[in-house]
Structure formats: C-alpha cells, structure tokens
Amino acid sequence: MRTPFLGAHRLAGGVGIDTNEDHRALGKIGRLGNLARIRRRIGLNLLGKREKQAKEIFTGACKEITRARAESGKPLVIERWNLRKR
C-alpha cells in the first residue's frame, strides 16, 4: 500500500507526533526531518477508564494536535511504523 502524497513542501519543516504508551509528544521537525525541539506533551492516561471516558480523552488529544498544527501553519508529520513480523 502506498502512502498518499499530500503536497507538503519539505523545506517547510513540520509538526511531528511521537507516539508513546501513556502520551503523545508534539515536536518541531526541521526541514531535514530531524526533531528540532519538543513543543508539548499530551497525556493519555487511559488505565482504568471506561470506554466513553477513554474516547473523550483521545478526542481531546486529537483536537490539541490539530490546534497545534493549525497554529504553526506547517504540515503534520507522523512516523510510519512497520509492525510486520520478520
């Protein structure tokens, strides 16, 4: 499956998302694709939460990511994971 091209200009840099077990980290990505700095940490404490609570927490995190991207005016960059067994 090919990744769709969204038309972002590479020299603009971007807002990157780092996915961790209990939080998402938003960082500034430079034009060469390297992390320039961490901008904010978004907690995702879902342990012991009911499904509705977990959805609300996750939705809030998505809104915060979207807001940060819009404020920066830069494209969103997400790591591509290869989870296939070797």
CA 8 – CA 12 distance, rounded (Å) = 8
**What local confidence, expressed as pLDDT, does residue 43 receive?**
86
- Per the confidence metrics, is the pTM higher than 0.75? no
> Rounded to 5 degrees, what are φ and ψ at 64?
-65, -40
**What local confidence, expressed as pLDDT, does residue 60 receive?**
93
Percentage helix, strand, coil, to 5, in the chain? 30, 30, 40
Determine whether 21 is exposed, middle or buried from the number of CB atoms within 10 Å of its CB (0-12, 13-18, 19+): exposed
pLDDT along the chain (86 residues), means of 10: 52 79 85 79 89 93 88 81 73
CA 71 – CA 54 distance, rounded (Å) = 26
Q: Where are the domains of the chain?
A: 13-78
- What residues are paired with 18 via a beta bridge? 25
